[in-house]
Structure 1
């Protein structure tokens, strides 16, 4: 009877501590776990092959833009500065106004010089016409001189005949010595008058030749030209155009759309021609230079799509672009002190080559970037 109660605690202890699982159940659990791991691995491999295979990325990328350096093309004192740093401007907006008093004086002087050149051309053309008229008048004078010479020759011939007749009559006593003397004097006078007439013809011809040379010289100044094409007039007009251009340049306008930065000009400051006064960054035309390792560029081609993100907007804003070019050399090749690898103490360092990425203009208008911002760039080398 004393041994019967001891059997009850043994049965209760058996209920509190169940028997461990069998080896078959443990093996089944490990098999299920292995299958799950394999499925996850296959799914990850498929996802990577579909979405990530052929993609190269870098976080060494920076926003750039072909900034416009605004310089003054004329010297003078600044009277107005109409923009400030960080201000958006449109192409053609007035940025700076320079005192134009000197430019206005130069413009008025150039206008007067043009009118003077035109007037001088008119005088030269008139002189050419006058010279031609003089040549024609000298021809009439030559005709008159030759007529006088003809008359003088006739007079010489008449007085010669009269002198010969008197000489014959003196021998017969029909004419007196006084008549002979008068006839000889008339003949000598006629001969002298003929000499003067001949000299008059020669002088008239010489005068006509001189007038002809003057006419040729005057016509040479205007031959083949008009008041618009004459050299002096053209030179004066060019000076007037330059004066107008200099006057127009006293108002400095924005060459492109963009943001004003690095403004270096103040009202009252006297600036010299060629001095930089500010920079305009055309953020609407920003691009990205992504520095990829040379080992990443094996399959990168121009035209391939690029996805980019910036810390400026976060991962929620994704920019899309295209590869448009490769730099002509690595960053180290164009550094201030290029690496010298010919010393023998050479250790290979993977180089980076800048890749130019052009961004979508619509995305840039929606989310403007600034020059110098860092970007994360991913190129899909399978895309075209």
Structure 2
């Protein structure tokens, strides 16, 4: 009887052992697993870019928002006044340029008038000089009186002085044109400055309305109406749950066969019994300890070897059963099938991000 019982037990035990050995040889020995894995997302902290009082909060915690939705508004009365002030300065600078342009037009007309005056003075000087020469010849032969000679000579000198005056007026008008051109260049620079100030003021006014930069769920909202906030104050968090991913911290003894694109089986504690497939997206360039606040210094006399862990990012399918349902911080168990090199699974030959193998170099 004992022999029959032993024989009856030996057969299923043999089959179970055979199956276990076959499973280990064909599957289990290629699996790299860890339970040190968590759901993560690139959380965006919402902060104002200008200071002011909170005028209205348009969202509540746990609310789903889309990119561009209004999250909160700051009291914009002061910012609107500054924008109006900058706009008035811009208009004043533009009016100054228009005034200078009118003066330039007038200066051009005055230059033409002064030029005509110079031409008239030159003609008068030539006439008076010719008369003086004729009366000088006549007076020499006593055909003209000395009084008439003196009068013509005085007229010639008066015509010369008038010509000098007309030429000076022409020079002054031309110099005034240069001054106006310089003033216009200065006014154009002032207009550009006013335009820049207006752009800055309008930007600040626009920044008083804080919008969602990405789609996600509102969390940790601390904004309250009437609260005074400065630029950079963290008011709420925006969690892109639809773009959640897994960070699995593998031991350094496990990453030798990990490659980008390899399939990953995920078991999430919050959803027991549900298996989710993912892909290795990237491997960290250093162990987690290297990015800590105080990295370990191993060049000391009290060195103790500790197995290090390397963060591995696992991408989730966008249309998976848990898309949009995962929350950062959830615990996950990860198992990677290293039988695949990953390249044929992602469709492109990505660079291998695992630890590079040493290559022997011939001398």
TM-score of the pair, normalised by structure 1: 0.82
Contact 2:39 2:326 in 1 (8 A): yes
Asked whether 1:375 is paired with 2:332, we answer yes
Task: Report the equivalent of 2:208.
Answer: 250
Aligned to 1:187: 149
CA–CA distance in structure 1, aligned partners of residues 15 and 322 of structure 2? 44
Which runs of 5 or more structure 1 residues have no equivalent in the other structure? 1-20, 170-179
How far apart are residue 130 of structure 1 and its match?
A: 2.0
Partner of 2:296: 339
In the TM superposition, residue 292 of structure 1 has moved relative to its aligned partner by 0.0
1:20-61 Cα deviation digits (max 9, x unpaired):
x7xxx94x8756654543332221222233432311010101
Q: Highest CA radius of gyration, 1 or 2? A: 1
Alpha-carbon distance in structure 2 between the residues aligned to 1:310 and 1:160: 124
Q: Distance in 1 between matches of 2:322 and 2:304?
A: 45
Distance of 1:269 and 1:347 partners within structure 2 = 51
The Cα of 1:162 is off from its aligned counterpart by 2.9
What is the TM-score when the length of structure 2 is the normalising length? Answer: 0.86
Instruction: Measure the CA separation in 2 of the matches of 1:74 and 1:367.
Output: 32
* Structure 2 partner of 1:199: 161
- Which of 351, 358, 373 is the matching residue for 2:315? 358
| 1:15 counterpart residue number | none
Cα displacement (A) at 1:253: 1.4
- Change in 2 beyond 3 A, CA 1:248/1:364: farther
CA offset at residue 236 of structure 1?
A: 2.3
Deviation at 1:380, TM superposition (A): 1.0
How many correspondences in the alignment?
Answer: 341
Contact 1:87/1:259 (CA < 8 Å) preserved in 2? yes
CA distance in structure 2 between the aligned counterparts of 1:333 and 1:352, rounded to whole angstroms: 10
For 1:140, the equivalent position in structure 2 comes to 116
Question: Any gaps of 5 or more consecutive residues in structure 2?
Answer: 343-363
The answer to whether the 8 A contact 1:284-1:364 is kept is no
Counterpart CA distance in 2 for 1:123 and 1:31 is 115
**CA shift digits 1:78-128 (9 cap, x unpaired):** 121122222222222221111111112112222222222222222222222
Q: How does 1:227-238 map to 2 (within 5 A)?
A: 230-238=188-196
Q: Which residue of 1 aligns with 2:180?
A: 218
| RMSD over equivalenced CA pairs, Å | 2.4
Give the match for residue 85 of structure 2.
Answer: 109
Question: Is 1:332–1:339's contact at 8 Å kept on the other side of the alignment?
Answer: yes
- Alpha-carbon contact 1:323-1:355 (below 8 Å) kept: yes
Q: Secondary structure at the match of 2:320?
A: helix
Instruction: Find the aligned partners of 2:229 and 2:54 in 1 and give their Cα distance.
Output: 7
CA distance in 2 between counterparts of 1:235 and 1:364 reads 56
- Cα distance in 1, alignment partners of residues 76 and 91 from structure 2: 23
2:29 pairs with 1:67: no
C-alpha displacement of 1:379: 1.0
Q: What's the counterpart of residue 260 of structure 1? A: 218
Which residue is equivalent to 1:58? 34
2:227 to 265, 269, 275: 269
Which residue is equivalent to 1:154? 130
1:304 alignment partner in structure 2: 262
The structure-2 alpha-carbon separation of the partners of 1:360 and 1:135, relative to structure 1 and needing over 3 Å to count, comes to same
**Inter-CA distance 68–204: structure 2 relative to 1 (3 Å threshold):** same
> CA offsets per residue over residues 305-332 of structure 1, 9 Å max, x none?
1111211111x22222211111122122
Distance 2:70 2:126 in 1: 85
Residue of structure 1 in register with 2:20 after alignment: 44
Change (3 A) 1:36 1:76: closer
What is aligned with 1:327? 284
> Does 2:247 match 1:280?
no
Tell me if 1:163 matches 2:139.
yes
Distance in 1 between residues matched to 2:204 and 2:295, nearest whole Å: 44
Cα offsets for 1:282-312 (capped at 9, x unmatched): 1111111100001001110011111112111
The answer (yes or no) to whether the contact 2:243–2:324 under 8 Å persists in 1 is no
